[in-house]
Amino acid sequence: MYATECAARGICIDWRGKTNFTCPYNKCPANTVYKACGPINPATCEPSYVEHSGYGVTEGCFCPEGQTLISEDSSICVSECSCREPNGISRTPGEKWMKDCQECVCDKHTLKVHCTRHECPLTQPVYCHDPGYVPVQVQVPEDPCCSRTECFCNTSLCPEVTHKCSAGQEIVTTTQPGKCCPSFECEPGCGVNGTFYPVSTQ
């Protein structure tokens, strides 16, 4: 009690050390050390922490020199109040970012980087029924980590032309808007002395 009264007035008495530690202090967590006269309000990484002035000291378990408590209710000591990525980039507690299609966050309780795979929204299956159209996976502009299926025209997949016209007609090829493969129709040609010629567009 005498030592406690002195500590409250800023005078440190390491009385346990004077008794050959016959009255040891309760065991400290692995990453902390015992101090006979540590600060009453040890510094923390919390943004709301305000350094208190005064002479009061107290015994207890404290972070080693050069380290800081993450928070008042934590016993984790860190050398810096931020997360550190493997590439050396520093992140503030609670910060979130995307990397290699993973969602990462700087855990403000442990100051460790946690990453999880970016989840893409569920999409309805796309079927390309019209001739010539094939399903292609394309990257979503607003979410580069995700893709969606779209139908693209590939004319090399269009059916071969088997349509034949009768004498005096010619095959006319037309492609309707929104269609990939052309359609074919027979139209009358020009006839001279019994011989038929294709209709010229010129």
Share of the chain above pLDDT 70, in %: 88
pLDDT digits (tens, 9 = 90+) for 79-88: 999 999 988 8
* pLDDT, position 197: 57
The residue-averaged pLDDT of 16-32 equals 81
Per the prediction, the chain carries an average pLDDT of 84
pLDDT digits (tens, 9 = 90+) for 70-127: 988 888 899 999 999 988 899 999 999 999 999 999 998 889 999 999 999 888 888 9
The residue-averaged pLDDT of 129-143 equals 91
Q: Under DSSP, is residue 4 helix (H, G, I), strand (E, B) or coil?
A: helix
Residue type, 167: A
Task: Give the β-pairing of 96-99 and 102-106.
Answer: antiparallel
Counting Cβ atoms within 10 Å, is residue 97 exposed (0-12), middle (13-18) or buried (19+)? Answer: middle
Among 42-51, 93-102, 161-170, the range of highest mean pLDDT: 93-102
* pLDDT, position 27: 83
* pLDDT, position 104: 95
Domain ranges within the chain, ordered by starting residue: 2-78, 83-117, 120-158, 163-197
pTM of the model: 0.57
* pLDDT, position 122: 87
With beta carbons less than 8 A apart as the criterion, state whether 29 and 61 touch: yes
* pLDDT, position 193: 56
The residue-averaged pLDDT of 159-183 equals 80
